[in-house]
A = this chain, B = another copy of it.
Amino acid sequence: MAPPLSKILETFDNQYPDRDYTIEIVCPEFTSVCPKTGQPDFGTLTINYVPEKKCVELKSLKLYLLQFRNEGIFYENVTNRILDDLVAALHPRRMTLTAAFNARGGITTTVTATHKAEVHGK
């Protein structure tokens, strides 16, 4: 998967930067492809973050996630990859990404990763 993926993400200015508040975005229609079997994977992404100067624009987020529709990528990597891309675009005070994938072979997998800005206290 090529690097320009995160360029699709658009942001808008946080109008309330003086307050630590939380934005949670749930995307139950995420789908990518298993790199081993070539079969599609399905899951629900939950993005939870405290914005610094930027908030993510939802339509661009949808288009960004759509880029994974036909990409082959493992559960653990897609979770960390999306977190990295969102952190690069938003520089949030804190962000947690949870990716809950549908059962395969009777087994369900959920991956959760968190980023914290180093400078911002609390």
Contacts and interface: CB of A to CB of B under 8 A. Distances in A.
Contacts of A14: 76
A66 to B, nearest CB: 7
Interface residues of A, number: 46
A59 B39 CA distance: 11
6 contacts: A23-B111, A24-B112, A29-B31, A58-B105, A69-B70, A102-B106
Contact of A113 (B19, B28, B69): B19
A113 B80 CA distance: 27
Interface string A69-97: 11000011101100000000000000000
A62 interface: yes
Given A15-B76, A69-B40, A76-B15, A24 B105 contact: no
A118 to B, nearest CB: 13
Interface in A23-43: 23-29, 31, 39-40, 42
Contact of A107 (B19, B40, B61, B76): B61
A120 interface: no
A103 interface: yes
